[in-house]
Structure 1
Amino acid sequence: MDLGTFLLIFAVVACVYMACNIGANDVANAMGTSVGARSLTFRQAVLVAAVAEFAGALLVGGHVSDTVRKGMVDPALFADEPMDLVFGMIASLVAAAIWLNIASYLGWPVSTTHSIIGAVVGFGLVARGLVAVQWMKVGSIVLSWIVSPLMGGIVAFLIFRFITVKIFDKHNAVAAAKRVVPYLVFLVFVILANSMMYKGLKNLHLNLDFTRALTLSLLVGAVAYLIARMLVNKVTPPPTDDIHQQFQTTEHVFKYLQIITAFYVAFAHGANDVANAVGPLAAVVAILDSGAVHMKVEMPIWILGMGGTGIVFGLLIWGARVMETVGKRITEITPSRGFAAEFGAATVVLICSKMGLPISTTHTLVGSVIGVGMARGLASLNLNIIRQIIVSWFATVPFTAVLSMMVYEIFKMTLG
């Protein structure tokens, strides 16, 4: 077996391993509130995630990937030694996957994007020195550790307070829910549809401007509103003096809204984060085929499919621990609380992505869950678990950077 074949096989294995760990961690935390609130069973969550991830990756995800994730390292520095970039990409996949595996085992929801970025920075430093790293972009990642959870927490807090005041604090909560929920459905579908249509469905060549995208989104929202009105009107309100049954029926109405927002979070993840596993492999394949470094490379459909399959498999096999942390251990989650957290996170990610602000889906979602807990009082939060999660966030980039350096040097010594 020649060196090129060996490296290709090794890179494919590393990519599948990375994809499995993305499923176990990132997708698990996206679906965790739905499972924690019992809106979905674990198997149903896997099924929803499978459909949403593939749809996001194939419809919205780019078929052209940056050679080095997020432009953290300048590929031109490797033009004279393309194999150094191959070693670096494989080392990055291995290092990020190992960290995600450890985090998933411990039940820590960490950012897969930050994991692969830390790994890329690590091999860039050891391969080409300080000049290789785009330090301004590294600074934006550090900023996102604060921006993401803070914005997610604030928005989710406000959404849940609105739901509490307008529905749960009313004497007849079910009747209030029948009035308010259709408007929430309208808002959800307008935002979700706009996120897909406005510069979203690139692979379908639907390059709509904001006005056309918003017009179509409002139409989608109007249809969803009418359907929601029709469905909630079929709900029979229990007696107003039966507080427990009022609460149960109202939460049941929110269950379907939560499933919709969970689908969107997984869809957005498939569009954005599958590239964390398949992007480095696409770069390796391109270099091994041509012998040259490319700034951007075409994403073969078989690589996207393999990444999507690995993510779903990882969620199925290893996802339960992170789901439990997000869905049960931070604060008690019900369908209404889960909806507020997921809708808040999805809205923040969408707005910040369109504005070009640094954002992490994982950090935003965890911040949103904390925000929902804060709306019920500090005593409802498990501060020890929150402390562990925050420590894991700050450990992600340095851990993967150092591990990537070590793996890169082993490749250079044994194969270089």
Structure 2
Amino acid sequence: MTLLITIVVLALIFDYINGFHDAANSIATIVSTKVLTPFQAVLWAAFFNFVAYFVSLYIIGEFKIGNTIAKAVHENFITLEVIFSGLIAAITWNLFTWWAGIPSSSSHTLIGGFIGAAIAHVGGFSEAGNVVINYPVVIPIILFIFVAPLIGMIISSIITLLIMNICRKANPYKADQWFKKLQLVSSAAFSIGHGGNDAQKVMGIIGAAFIFYEVNVVHAAEYVNLSTSERFQHFTIDYWWVPIASFVAIGLGTMSGGWKIVKTMGTRITKVTPLEGVAAESSGAITLFLSEYLGIPVSTTHTITGSIIGVGLVKRVSAVRWGITIKLLWAWILTIPVSAILAMIVYWIVKLFI
């Protein structure tokens, strides 16, 4: 029970870190266009991070992304030590990338840590005919490392072109003022997508821990006789406070900000105007809502970066600072394997004491 409580605390700490690590995703453009001050922006984003709880519960109808995360590793290889080690690795990589100002994916950090710890637990990629990684679940997540920013880029380019054509005869000053107001709406929508996507990932990890405890320690009949997906649905009802705590934690983290990453996202990729901010945030929100509907965890960082690149490309290819973008791409590609390796090391250390 002590390790289970520790995991819950660590998961919520990770959720909090995820909030301030990813705060830049939903406020970078609104701060860089001076629609809101940084303090006003984080309060705005944090509020809508929590609103996402009600959207997921009452509009989507279930926590699909949390369910997906809980199934990333074959249930036979999930233990509390595996989950604990994965969380420690994810927190470590998240703090490092935050300190370095690198907009890496908290989502993929968590998944990489979970997988790496499970592989260390088994001592390989399979055991007794069972494969550690649930590939039908994990492969779409990996593909969306590239697909999500591409979707964001395409949608934001289309939205930008549509807006430019519709408003081509508008007074530039009045149009600019209108788009500054519209950024409040687009930023709120993106923050809802961010909360709905990222808070559920922590729910998935906590859910995996509680399900392991119910099945293997308590031997609760109502869990033993259910499928993995059914167990997660049961968990969200029995432990109703976990979804609420997850959404609150990410909102509090967002309020803490992440100013190094704000600078990278808001100014270093391309200069963003209010019009382009609306296009980028709207595109990011659409992509995140789509991914939640499909139950595929995606990176809000990847999504908004692709969207910002899209609005830059509409101006001209040279408007995008490709040197920065390529560095970000390398960070995205390395996140899962680096997190997995870190988790393996942590797991081996943990097993020396537990």
* Cα distance, 1:47 vs structure 2: 1.5
Percent of pairs identical after alignment?
30
Who is 1:233 aligned against? Answer: none
Read off the aligned partner of 1:337 and give its amino acid letter. Answer: E
Partner of 2:120: 126
CA contact (8 A) 2:46 2:252 kept: no
| Partner residue, 1:52 | 48
The CA deviation at 1:312 is 2.9
Determine if the alignment matches structure 1 residue 109 to structure 2 residue 103: yes
User: Are the counterparts in 1 of residues 73 and 118 from structure 2 also a CA contact under 8 Å?
Assistant: yes
Matched to 1:155, the amino acid is I
Of 362, 366, 372, which residue of structure 1 is paired with 2:311? Answer: 372
Counterpart of 1:96 (choices 68, 90, 101) is: 90
**Matching of residue 381 in structure 1 with residue 306 in structure 2:** no
Corresponding residue of 2:258: 319
TM-score, with length taken from structure 1: 0.72
For 2:53, give the aligned amino acid: A
Q: What is the deviation of 1:110?
A: 2.3
> Quick one: distance in 1 between partners of 2:297 and 2:82?
24
Residues 305, 11 of structure 1: alpha-carbon distance in 2 compared, 3 angstrom cutoff? same
Equivalent pair of 1:37/1:335 in contact (CA under 8 Å): yes
Cα distance in structure 1, aligned partners of 2:295 and 2:202: 22
The within-5 A match list for 1:323-342 is 323-342=262-281
* Counterpart for residue 176 of structure 2: 251
| Letter of the 1:143 counterpart | L
Contact 1:30 1:362 in 2 (8 A): no
Q: Do the aligned partners of 1:58 and 1:304 also contact (CA within 8 Å) in 2?
A: no
Distance, in Å, in 2 between the alignment partners of 1:155 and 1:67 is 27
1:260 counterpart (185, 192, 198): 185
Larger radius of gyration: 1
Q: Distance in 2 between matches of 1:354 and 1:16?
A: 24
Note closer, same or farther for the CA distance 1:305–1:352 as it changes in structure 2 (3 Å cut).
Answer: closer
Cα offset, 1:347, TM superposition:
2.1
Distance 1:65 1:358 in 2: 6
Alignment match of 1:22 (pick from 13, 18, 21): 18
C-alpha distance in structure 1 between counterparts of 2:281 and 2:306, whole Å:
10
Residues 112 and 336, structure 2, Cα contact 8 Å, conserved in 1: yes
Preserved contact between residue 71 and residue 134 of structure 1 (Cα < 8 Å): yes
How much has 1:303 moved relative to structure 2? 2.8
Please give the alpha-carbon distance, in whole angstroms, between the structure 1 residues aligned to 2:70 and 2:312: 33
User: After the TM superposition, which of the residue ranges 293-302 and 317-326 deviates more from structure 2?
Assistant: 293-302
Give, as a single letter, the amino acid of the residue that structure 2 aligns with 1:271: G
Partners of 1:381 and 1:162 lie apart in 2 by 20
Q: Distance in 2 between matches of 1:74 and 1:335?
A: 46
If the length of structure 2 is used for normalisation, what is the TM-score? Answer: 0.84
For 1:93 and 1:318, the matched residues in 2 are separated by 21
Deviation at 1:286, TM superposition (A): 4.7
Aligned-pair CA distance for 1:109: 2.0
- Displacement of 1:341 in angstroms is 0.6
One-letter amino acid of the counterpart of residue 391, structure 1: W
- Following the alignment from structure 2 to structure 1, what is the Cα–Cα distance between the partners of residues 99 and 209? 29
Cα distance 1:353–1:57, how it changes in 2: closer, same or farther (>3 A)? closer
Q: What's the offset of the Cα at 1:338?
A: 0.4
Aligned to 1:109, what secondary structure does the other structure show?
A: coil
Verify the 8 A CA contact 1:111 1:362 in the aligned structure 2: yes
| 1:57-79 deviation per Cα after TM superposition (whole angstroms, max 9, x unaligned) | 2441546985772522111x14x
**1:37 equivalent in alignment to 2:23:** no
* C-alpha separation in 2, matches of 1:58 and 1:411: 37
1:361 CA displacement: 3.1
Matches within 5 A, 1:9-408: 9-61=5-57, 62=62, 69=69, 71-75=71-75, 77-78=76-77, 85-128=79-122, 129-130=124-125, 131-167=131-167, 169-170=168-169, 173-174=170-171, 247-288=172-213, 291=217, 295=228, 296-297=231-232, 298-299=235-236, 300-351=239-290, 353-354=292-293, 359-408=298-347
Q: RMSD value over aligned CA atoms? A: 2.5
Gaps of 5+ in 1: 79-83, 175-246
- Pick closer, same or farther for the CA change 1:147–1:133 going to 2, 3 Å: same
Deviation of residue 362 (structure 1)? Answer: 2.5
User: How many aligned residue pairs are there?
Assistant: 330
Counterpart secondary structure, 2:79: helix
Offset of residue 30 of structure 1 = 2.0
Determine the C-alpha separation between the residues in 2 that align with 1:379 and 1:64. Answer: 39
Instruction: Give CA-to-partner distance per residue, 1:178-199, whole Å, 9 cap, x none.
Output: xxxxxxxxxxxxxxxxxxxxxx
- Could you say what secondary structure the match of 1:115 adopts? helix
1:330 Cα shift?
0.9
* SS of 1:275 mapped into structure 2: helix
